[in-house]
Amino acid sequence: MLPDEIISEILSPALKVSEELFSDTSDVSPFSNYTPSTSDYLLVCKDWLRVATPLLYSVVVFRSKAQANALQQVLKASPEFGRFIKKLRVEGGFGAAMLTILKSAPHIRDLFISLSIYSSDGTGGLCKGLHLVNPHRIILVDPHRIFGYPDVGLYFDLSPWLTKATEFSQLLAQTQVHTVTFNSSFSDIPQWITTFYTIPSLKVLEFQRPLDEKLVSKIESDPQLKKLAKYKRIYKQTHVEPDIAPSLNPFFVPMQFASEETRETVWKRVLFFVMYTEEMRSPTFKFSRRPSDLYPSRIPILCVSKYFHRLALPYLFESLHLSYHMDITGLAQLLEKAPHLGSCIRRIFTAGIPTTSSIYKQAILVVFRHAPSLEVLAPAGDRLQHACAYDSIDITIELFDELGKVAGHSMQELSVSLPDTEVPLSSLERFTLLRVLDIGGFGLRGEDLRGKPPSNVLNTVQELRIRETSVVEFFANTRLDSLRTLVLTPVYSRIQTFEYLVQVHGEKLHHLTLGRLHGFQVFDFCPNLTNIKLLDRDDLKPLAPHSPHYARVKISSPNLPKNDDPEEVEATFHMYPNLREIELQYLTWPTTELTTGFTRRGISKSNAVLLAESLLLKNIKVLNEKGRYWSTRLKIEKQPRKVA
């Protein structure tokens, strides 16, 4: 058995709310995310229940009336729990329950109150109970930021804000508050701040947002304000060279007595990070030729010594990000002068290369000829997230043939377009290790394979991405034994050819991304499908199979089904008995309990929430664009009507 102190230390990180989150005054509450309740930890065993209860109640956050009512019931049954409450954050009115809570919590030291209160919310309990607590710190947030006092623009009359801020500071001066926090930006130090000087108990006036040098100098010139003010400065980002102390032994040589193999292993690992090799390997990395504070130039590293030059040079050429702004002709000239550098090239990511230019074509040809170890030729950017926005390189049959001759034995991912070109099978047969193929716009003819056994060309491909109908028939007549993932981007002509491709290879597929197939029932042909992603806003219902799809599957769609009535949706998903997740790519979960603004819907009016809660009862999670699933909130149970 562990002592309570050890259990408390173990549970604290999971149960405690950080000061940063508690005092956050952002427009969107940091507590509006959707995670499982931390109260689940109390259900593990009696020891955890005993130790975790004070930790759970030490910081209380209310975001709905149901939460306030639930705590009210707890405190009525166990009033001693109220003594554990040290911090209270109230984001609304929440009716009469607040009076019971404030009565039962005499040890509140930090009080956060949001004045963004709906007209349907009762504030009677909150107003009556505030005099019962004596916090050391109060944080007030107003939707119009009356107290915070930000820049409200040139088209607003500032006088109402000035008057109310002055009145509030005068009222606050009559309390025993220790700390006052300002949550907004200041263009000047307002006169009403001097009212706080009269509060005997006040110790800190905290400015949450950084202040510029002009405001800092005004604070420094006011002795009383200087004594109370707590703030951060706005620092301009400048590159500062580290202050490195000189070596005590100028003749010291790192790892002098280590073996050469050990020295190289250690220095290669160091240089791997210094040359930000891992970042360069990603197609989404925003590479810039101009050095920045975050990614300084790598060239000085090569100039440290011949030893560093030899070890770091492969990292410089390992991943190349080629774009319109990069001097590709200069790269080609360098490779012709030093051909050995080409063997270092493993990845080439392209973006906006003008391949119509004969100069660029010749330069790319030279690069291909000097890259025998090339593994990846792909567009820059997130191709999986935006599968219809390709920027793959257009190349001629000459370039494609040269690429196959030089690097076909090492190429693992290839993304190219060969417009108006007929590619012989012999060119494709050279790519013997290809795992990912993204191809479009070439003229291979499927009829050449008709009546013959399916071709073994590209038999190592595991993921196939197709953008043009001209290649579909060819791949439908190819074995593709390793194929597991198929991506078909939106193409609105000759849809039947895409359906035929899915029928041929459906049993092998585990992952499928679709454009528009007009209700083609893919699940009937793909019994092992575990992940389907829809790029178009078509209804989900026509995709439903004729017989149940028993594989554990995840469905990803841009938005809610066209008929978003929960009962209709449940009927649509009835044919997927092992469906566990539905991802809605453009969904943002509501962050408030009620409707706000002109078009946004709160939790109570959200069709997505109604759908998510109905599907949770069937053990199906609905995820939003960030992969966060909805978890059911506490609700106020409706009392049955009394019959006279």
Residue, of 298 and 169, whose pLDDT is higher = 298
Strand partners, 211: 233
**pLDDT score at 407:** 94
Among 230, 264, 298, which residue terminates a domain? Answer: 230
The pLDDT tens digits for 564-599 are 566 666 666 778 888 888 888 777 777 776 655 444
Instruction: Return the bridge partners of 88, or none.
Output: 60, 111
| pLDDT band for position 519 (cuts 50, 70, 90) | low
- CA dist 101 and 79 (Å) reads 9
**Residues contacting 449, CB < 8 A, separation 6+:** 455, 474, 477, 478
Rounded to an integer, what distance in angstroms lies between the CA atom of residue 73 and that of residue 78? Answer: 9
Name the residue range of residue 604's domain. Answer: 512-632
Residue 437 has pLDDT above 50, yes or no: yes
Instruction: Inform me whether the pLDDT recorded for 344 exceeds 80.
Output: yes
> Across the beta sheet with 204-207, what order do the strands follow?
59-62, 87-90, 110-114, 137-141, 179-182, 204-207, 229-230
Q: Which residue has the higher pLDDT, 18 or 463?
A: 463
Q: How many CB atoms within 10 Å of residue 161?
A: 20
Where is 567: in which H helix or E strand?
Answer: helix 566-572
In a domain, 460, yes or no: no
Predicted confidence band at 517 (pLDDT cuts at 50, 70, 90)? low
Question: Alpha-carbon torsion 41, 46, 52, 53, what sign?
Answer: positive
The reported pLDDT for the residue numbered 389 is: 42
58: domain CATH number is 3.80.10
Residue 264: the pLDDT is 94
CA-closest candidate to residue 332, choices 299, 370, 298 = 370
- For residue 594, the model assigns a pLDDT of 62
pLDDT of residue 242: 62
Number of domains in the chain: 2
Distance from C-alpha of 116 to C-alpha of 100, rounded to nearest angstrom: 21
**Lowest-pLDDT range of 299-308, 369-378, 402-411, 433-442:** 433-442
Question: Confidence class of residue 35 from pLDDT cuts 50, 70 and 90?
Answer: low
User: Radius of gyration of the chain from Cα atoms?
Assistant: 32
Cross-strand bridge partners of residue 393: 416
Residue 409: which pLDDT band, with cuts at 50, 70 and 90? very high
Which one of 190, 214, 230 terminates a domain?
Answer: 230
Domain-located, residue 339:
no
pLDDT at res. 114: 80
pLDDT top residue among 528 and 256: 528
pLDDT at 173: 67
Segment holding 88, helix H or strand E: strand 87-90
More confident residue, 196 or 461: 461
pLDDT per position as a tens digit, 520-536: 778 888 899 999 888 77
| pLDDT band (50, 70, 90) for residue 146 | very low
- Cα-to-chain-centroid distance, residue 264: 37
What proportion of the chain, given as a percentage, has pLDDT over 90?
18
Asked if residue 17 has pLDDT above 70, the reply is: yes
Highest-scoring range by mean pLDDT, 76-90, 103-117, 480-494: 76-90
**What is the arithmetic mean of pLDDT over 131-149?**
65
Query: Is residue 368 scored above 60 in pLDDT?
Result: yes
**60-71 mean pLDDT:** 86
Helix (H) and strand (E) counts for the chain?
A: 21, 20
The average pLDDT across 65-84 equals: 88
DSSP letter at 523? G
- Residue 165 inside a domain? The answer is yes
> pLDDT averaged over the chain?
79
Question: Does a structural domain hold residue 408?
Answer: no
Q: Supply the pLDDT for residue 574.
A: 78
What is the structure's pLDDT at 145? 47
pLDDT for res 564: 56
Task: Mark which of 230, 248, 267 sits at the end of a domain.
Answer: 230
Q: Which of 38-52, 78-92, 232-246 has the lowest mean pLDDT?
A: 232-246
In a domain, 411, yes or no: no
* Listed ranges 139-143, 332-336, 630-634; the one with the highest mean pLDDT: 332-336
Q: Can you say whether the dihedral through the CA atoms of 52, 53, 55, 60 is positive or negative? A: positive
Please check whether residue 523 lies inside any domain of the structure. Answer: yes
pLDDT of residue 424: 77
Residue 248 lies in a domain: no
Please check whether residue 626 lies inside any domain of the structure: yes
Whether 495 has a pLDDT exceeding 70, the answer reads no
Report, as an integer, the average pLDDT of 227-241.
73
Q: Contact, 146 vs 168, CB < 8 A?
A: yes
Mean pLDDT of 104-108: 89
Return the structure tokens found at 59.
Answer: 């910081």
Please spell the DSSP secondary structure of 300-350, one letter per residue.
HHHTS-HHHHHHHHHHHHHEEEEETTS-HHHHHHHHHH-GGGGGG--EEEE
Q: Per residue in 382-391, pLDDT tens?
A: 654 444 444 5
| pLDDT tens profile 176-229 | 777 777 766 677 787 777 777 777 888 888 887 788 888 888 888 888 888 888
Q: What is the pLDDT of residue 423?
A: 77
Give the residue among 188, 224, 184, 234 at the shortest CA–CA distance from 208: 184
